Amino acid sequence: MRAIVLHGSPRRGGNSDTLADYFIRGLKSAAEVEVLDFILNDMKIRPCQGCESCATSENHKCAIDDDMHQIYDVFAGADVVIWATPMYWGYMTAQMKTALDRMEALAMDTQKYWVDKEFVAILTYRHHYQSTVGFFERVQDYFRFKFSSILYCSKNVDGPEDYHVSTCSEKLDEANRLGREIGLRIISQDLEILP
């Protein structure tokens, strides 16, 4: 089993990173997993230039030569893709949105890249997450991935500092449980298709 974790926060060890970690622990408790972490903030990924060359190029290869190809190269083989991002100004972070726009090159072959994958959105926020969950829900029928989400509100009503999710054992348990549940689900499907 392969899991890709797209880390959208610039804060290492923040809320979304921590929840992704607990999700992966749960997944690992159910199955042997190859985990590929992509720290988008540390990668050189240019914004999509809208050239549309991926529509006609061989294998729909993106014309931009940058770190996004590290993700392209492994995406087809992933069983689970974790989109871990805080909400920034009403949507996923710019780091995550830039990578998402570049997924255009993978949108041409839905069967190879999207159908039946488990997508997990881990969204951390103070006020609002609906726009990003709404995005995944809106495209789900077309791309036919399976969608789950973990939502964490870090707002501290008593002061300026957010509550770090590590102080919320219920949320950590939820992430862990969902990881395990999805791991077991994938294993049982694999067993079903064995001859």
Ligand X SMILES: Cc1cc2nc3c(=O)[nH]c(=O)nc-3n(C[C@H](O)[C@H](O)[C@H](O)COP(=O)(O)O)c2cc1C
Strand runs (DSSP E) across 16-89, as ranges? 34-39, 80-88
Task: Give the whole-angstrom CA distance, residue 92 versus residue 169.
Answer: 24
Binding mask 47-86 for ligand X (x = CB under 6 A): ---------------------------------------x
Cα 90 to Cα 12, 100, 124, 140, 184, distances in angstroms: 21, 16, 11, 21, 34
Asked if residues 91 and 8 have their Cβ atoms less than 8 Å apart, the reply is no
Binders of ligand X among residues 5 to 24 (CB under 6 A) are 9, 11, 14-17
* Buried/exposed 5-33: b ≥16 CB within 10 Å, e otherwise: bbbbbeeeebbbbbbbbbbbebbbebbeb
CB of residue 129 to ligand X, shortest distance in Å: 7
State which residue, 64 or 82, has the beta carbon closest to ligand X.
82
State which residue, 44 or 155, has the beta carbon closest to ligand X.
155
37 belongs to the binding site for ligand X (CB under 6 A): no
State which residue, 12 or 144, has the beta carbon closest to ligand X.
12
CB of residue 121 to ligand X, shortest distance in Å: 13
What are the structure tokens assigned to 81, written together? Answer: 């893709």
State which residue, 95 or 176, has the beta carbon closest to ligand X.
95
CB of residue 93 to ligand X, shortest distance in Å: 8
CB of residue 26 to ligand X, shortest distance in Å: 18
State which residue, 9 or 176, has the beta carbon closest to ligand X.
9
Residue type, 7: H
Which of 126, 130, 173, 189 is the binder for ligand X (CB under 6 A)?
A: 126
CB of residue 191 to ligand X, shortest distance in Å: 35
* Buried/exposed 92-130: b ≥16 CB within 10 Å, e otherwise: bbbbbbbbbbbbebbeeeeeebbeebbbbbbbbbeeebe
Task: Give the whole-angstrom CA distance, residue 167 versus residue 12.
Answer: 17
Binding mask 82-121 for ligand X (x = CB under 6 A): ----xxxxx-------------------------------
Task: Give the whole-angstrom CA distance, residue 193 versus residue 195.
Answer: 6
Q: Which residues bind ligand X (CB under 6 A)?
A: 9, 11, 14-17, 86-90, 124-128, 154, 162
